[in-house]
């Protein structure tokens, strides 16, 4: 059964590639192209960046410092990793840089807010 499914996918892939331009075929068959997890995992990771961007509209007292620090560290650590692995994954690099920057901005907002509370006392 698994073999039949795989054969059907291969046939579908050949039909799709027959209709593609050469430029699109290169991207399709690239080691980090559309057919691989190297493309889809960073694509879905953009949801974390979007969630971080939506937190810009939340008051700083409602944000989690631990979560923001974790997103910052994750973003910057994995951005380094994305340039070390083969093939270099520029989509993974870009999403992680954005994730790290978004997290760092939220950390700064939280720390500024906490500092202003201390100054008021």
Per residue in 65-100, pLDDT (tens digit) is 999 999 999 999 999 998 998 878 888 999 999 999
Higher local confidence (pLDDT), 1 or 82: 82
- Closest by CA position to 68, among listed 115, 116, 100: 100
- Closest by CA position to 66, among listed 99, 100, 102, 110: 110
Q: Read off the pLDDT band of 109 (50, 70, 90).
A: very high
25-45 tens-digit pLDDT:
888 888 777 777 777 888 899
pTM of the model: 0.74
- Give the helix/strand (H/E) hosting 30: none
Higher local confidence (pLDDT), 2 or 73: 73
């Amino acid at each position: 059964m698994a073999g039949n499914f795989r054969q059907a996918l291969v046939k579908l892939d050949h039909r799709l590639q027959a209709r593609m331009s050469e430029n699109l075929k290169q991207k399709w068959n690239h080691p980090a192209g559309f057919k691989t997890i190297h493309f889809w995992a960073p694509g879905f990771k953009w949801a974390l960046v979007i969630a971080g961007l939506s937190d810009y509209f939340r008051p700083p007292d409602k944000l989690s410092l631990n979560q923001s620090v974790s997103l910052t560290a994750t973003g910057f650590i994995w951005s380094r990793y994305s340039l070390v692995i083969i093939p270099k994954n520029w989509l993974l690099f870009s999403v992680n840089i954005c994730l790290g920057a978004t997290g760092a901005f939220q950390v700064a907002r939280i720390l500024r807010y906490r500092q202003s509370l201390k100054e008021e006392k």
